[in-house]
Structure 1
Amino acid sequence: MVIQETLRLYPPASLIMREALMDIRLGGVDVPRGTIIQVTIPKLHLDMEAWGPDAGEFRPERFANGAVAACKPAHMYMPFGYGPRLCTGQNLAMAELKVILARLLSKFSFSMSPGYQHMPAFRLTIEPEFGMPLVVTKLS
């Protein structure tokens, strides 16, 4: 649940592009067939209609019943894309993440440095604008 919520708030990619396969109307705007549409994933992941009034808060328990039940509609959760163009590396990335986290958390404790300033920068990927200084303590 913690990993899913972290990926919701800080998805690996900040946008995906799709081509309109037919003439459609999106949010009151006519979009002709063939138009390339950029979908901003962080915007979807913070949408209050899909995620509720606490969409901007870190609440891992929203995934207690899985990603499908976490938001309405379910396709609003897309840290690795959605549908036939879903990232082919998703399963490998999740497996690696779980193994690395388990190994690190079994040997070290982590806390934020007192001078840390939270400011995500939305570039090709989402990263901390001012870095992410941590206090790392080896567990006995």
Structure 2
Amino acid sequence: MLREFVEKKHYKFATGAETWQEAVRMSCESLEADGTVNAQYAEEIIRCVEKYGPYIIIMPDVAMPHSQEGSANVNKTAIGFMKLEKPVSFDPGDPEKDATLFFTLAASDSDQHMANMVKLSEMLMTDGVADALKAAHTPEDLLAIQEKYLD
């Protein structure tokens, strides 16, 4: 999965974001760059989080920005990765709702979407992977993590 992020250029490394909304927009940039999603997809995710709360935080320090499957703003099914050096808070006062790792899901096909969610979950449950990703700074680091933990 990490190799795919690098090959498709679906990754971003950044210092931080002023707000969680900015972080969501930033997490969509690599998917926008190749037409996987259009620019409205980030705004759709933001509206969903504003409506339903920070449902995209799947574990401490890890966000999975996504909207409903079959969104008109998604052209292909893919996942984008973003790592922030400084965490962004989705719920001030609750550090469990901070995130530095973002896995942005775009789904045009429900079967592929479910397969991606399963692969992502398995990857994050692999001992050492989340900590290694938090220490990553380059696409080469992603490839090294893939080789060490996932191949």
- Flag whether TM exceeds 0.5 (same fold): no
Structure index of larger Rg: 1
Higher relative contact order (CA 8 A, sep 6+): 2
State the TM-score, normalized to the length of structure 1. Answer: 0.31
State the TM-score, normalized to the length of structure 2. Answer: 0.30
